[in-house]
Amino acid sequence: MRFAGRGAGLSATILDGRALAERIKLETAGEVAEFVAASGRAPGLTVVLVGDDPASKVYVRNKEAACKACGIRGRVLRLPSTSAQAELIAVLDELNADASVDGILVQLPLPATIDERAVIDRINPLKDVDGFHVDNVGRLAIGSPRFAPCTPLGIVAMLRDAGVTTRGARAVVLGRSMTVGKPLALLLLQKGEGGDATVTVAHSASREVASIAREADILIAAIGRPELVRDDWVKPGAVVVDVGIHRRDDGTLCGDVHFPTVAEVASRITPVPGGVGPLTVAMLLKNTLVAARLAHGG
């Protein structure tokens, strides 16, 4: 699909995350069926939700529905926001010991009284389908990944599916979070298809961020500021991936990229919504299947 630019610039091709996510889910459903036939059981994913954060509740519902659709046995454990860290740790210990649970995901953010890092690192790294455990982060850093975070995995899958050449390309990642920025940079640095890029990570302390962004053949915006990236941040013909999602005062959604102007400069661009977001859940399903195969000796 093309975006008809309003000016004389390029007309960017839309990278449709929804369509790709549906294809990945369909493919995963077939692989899950094969796993069930071979092992006699369905892969199991347990999501732990602490508190009543509205956005988290929506994300968890989406994960439940996606699991059901592809044959994964999904379960949600809901804990009150007043839960102590020790209570959450005890729940994770039970899940770690439960052979029917292949994947464990603690929905973030957690209440301020709970240490997120201590909780994440309590998860068995073989069941850490979010890819946040220090063991899995370390494996990714040394080039021997087991699980990588789902949003970065989805971005790389999108680039590969669209035929975007990453080998030798200059990739700029705006943002250094442990959920997107850092692991995405590491994925783009991996040897092989979808990697071999020359990667720069810019962040809140970087100087002249716009000029850094303009050097990118592939620009990934995960900086957490609505519509910060404008057309003068983008090299003509660059591929632009928008990870941000924000709600405007009028209730509409936008990303970290000002879509109308950047779409006139970029060659390809992701929309918000419908770009990166759907791929996050799709890659979670794939990670859960990998965890089940590991548990089954695969």
Q: How confident is the model at residue 178 (pLDDT cuts 50, 70, 90)?
A: very high
- pLDDT above 70: residue 5: no
Q: Is 107 a catalytic residue?
A: yes
Name the active-site residue from 25, 63, 127, 235.
Answer: 63
Query: Known catalytic residue: 121?
Result: no
For range 236-252, the mean pLDDT:
95
**Burial level of 245, CB count in 10 A (0-12/13-18/19+)?**
middle
| 10 pLDDT above the threshold of 80 | no
Catalytic member of 16, 25, 102, 107: 107
In the prediction, which pLDDT does 298 show?
Answer: 65
pLDDT band at 262 (very low <50, low <70, confident <90, very high): very high
13 and 271 Cβ atoms separated by less than 8 Å? no
User: Could you tell me the pLDDT band of residue 11, with boundaries at 50, 70 and 90?
Assistant: confident
User: Is the Cα dihedral 92, 93, 98, 99 positive or negative?
Assistant: positive
C-alpha dihedral over 241, 243, 247, 248, to 10 degrees?
-40
Q: How far apart are CA 253 and CA 272, in angstroms?
A: 7
Smallest CA-to-CA distance from 92 within 73, 82, 110, 77 is with 77
Q: Is 170 helix (H, G, I), strand (E, B) or coil?
A: strand
Q: What is the pLDDT of residues 153-168, one digit of tens each?
A: 999 999 999 999 999 9
As a whole number of angstroms, the distance between CA 47 and CA 239 comes to 34
- Given the residues 16, 128, 130, 256, select the one marked as catalytic: 130
User: What's the pLDDT at 7?
Assistant: 44
Domains and CATH numbers, the chain: 40-123 (3.40.50.10860), 148-277 (3.40.50.720)
Respond yes or no: is residue 85 known to be catalytic: no
Non-local (6+) Cβ contacts of 196 within 8 A are 166, 167, 168, 189, 190
Cis amide bond preceding 273, omega within 30: yes
Locate 8 and state its tokens: 């004389």
Q: Residue 189 corresponds to which tokens in the numbers above?
A: 């640095």
**Sequence-separated (6 or more) residues with CB below 8 Å from residue 30:** none
Assign 8 a pLDDT band (cuts: 50, 70, 90): very low
Give the 3-state secondary structure of 137-169: HHHHHCCCCCCCCHHHHHHHHHHHHCCCCCCCC
Residue 284 CA: distances (Å) to CA of 8, 51, 101, 127, 168: 40, 22, 14, 12, 28
User: Beta strand pairing status for 103-106 and 246-247?
Assistant: unpaired
